[in-house]
Amino acid sequence: MLIQIKNLTKTYQRHDGAINAVDNLSLDIPKGSFVTITGASGSGKTTLLLILGGLLQPTSGKMSYNARELDLLKEKDMATFRSNHVGFVMQSFALVPYLTALENISIALNVKDKDNDKNRKRALQLLEWVGLDDRTTHYPKELSAGQQQRVAIARALANNPDLLLADEPTGNLDPTLSEEILGVLKEINQKQGTTVVMVTHSPAAAEYGDTKIQLKNGKLHTNEKV
């Protein structure tokens, strides 16, 4: 198992009372799998994904990576965990606006390795791989939505993560572009063996997964393997 979570709960305090966005949830994510998470709005999909990626501290529960338990409260460890093992693809692309496509990728490489020339070469390779080698010096606002998402995917792959987390990666894209991006994710999963966990609203997108999870009120509703 790549990731195991046990009795995970995330409680948000709100003015109208506390709410468990993720509620006593346990889940195993096998190495090399492609997991899709669906569920109604507010069912806790994003919350779960953020906890999986070490971006958010759960209120209680345990999580282990490669059978080693993570100290979810140690912020430094979690940042290192993110840079070493996790890649993120967000619905809104999350690119730094004043950095070019190439720079957005190499700034992620720089977290782990300070060799600037090497990082540049690797960033170029990645852009080539997502088919944007002619857009290296473009700024995010000079790229189309699909191109921006490709840059974001290239960045997510920069440090060879074992786990790629995607939160509605096609939410801002039209159906044709969505299919392209989903194809790229599938390819990453199959060719490189990267474990992919993708949150989506679209039933068609959910079909890309080999494990399909549905959340309801922060709890596991269905968990079906194809």
Partner 1 sequence: MRLIDLTLKELWHRKSQLVSGLLAITLGIGVIVGIRSFSVVSEKAVAVNLDNLGANILVLPQSSSVDNYYAADIDASTFPEEYVEKLVTSTIPGVDNISPKLTRRVKVGNENIVLTGILPKSEIASKPIWQRGGIQGQQAAASCAPSGPKKYADAKLQRKGIDTLANNDCFIGSGIALRLKLKEGSKLTIMDKEFTVAKLLPETGTVDDDRVFANLHTVQALLGTGEQISAIEIMGCCSSISEGLLGKLRNVLPDTRITTIGQIVSTQIENNKLMSKISLVFLIIIVFVGGISIGNYIWGNVNERRKEIGILRMIGYHKRHIYYILVLKALLMGLVGGIAGYILGTLGAMWLGPQFSGIAVSPIYMYFFYSIVVAILISIIGSLIPAYMAGKIEPFSNMQED
Positions that interact with partner 1 (CB under 8 A) = 46, 50, 55-56, 75-76, 79-80, 82-84, 88, 90-92, 94-99, 102-103, 106-108, 110-112, 114, 116, 119, 155, 159, 167-168
Torsion angle in degrees (nearest 10) through CA of 85, 195, 37, 15: -10
- Alpha-carbon span 92 to 95, nearest angstrom: 8
Out of 4, 6, 11, 19, name the contact with ligand ATP by CB under 6 A: 19
Is 60 in contact with 9 (CB distance < 8 Å)? yes
Choose one: 14-22, 23-31, 107-115, 125-133; the region binding ligand ATP (CB under 6 A): 14-22
Q: How far is the CB of 108 from partner 1 (least distance, A)?
A: 5
- Alpha-carbon span 27 to 144, nearest angstrom: 36
Q: How far is the CB of 12 from ligand ATP (least distance, A)?
A: 3
Q: Which residues pair with 201 in a beta bridge?
A: none
Out of 46, 119, 159, 200, name the contact with Mg ion by CB under 5 A: 46
- Ranges of H-type helices in 42-157: 45-52, 75-85, 101-109, 116-129, 145-156
Binding flags for ligand ATP, 25-44, as an x/- string (CB under 6 A): --------------x-xxxx
At 217, the amino acid letter reads N
Distance of CA 151 to the CA centre of its chain: 14
Residues in the site for ligand ATP, rule: CB under 6 A?
12, 14, 19, 21, 39, 41-47
Residues in touch with Mg ion (CB under 5 A): 46
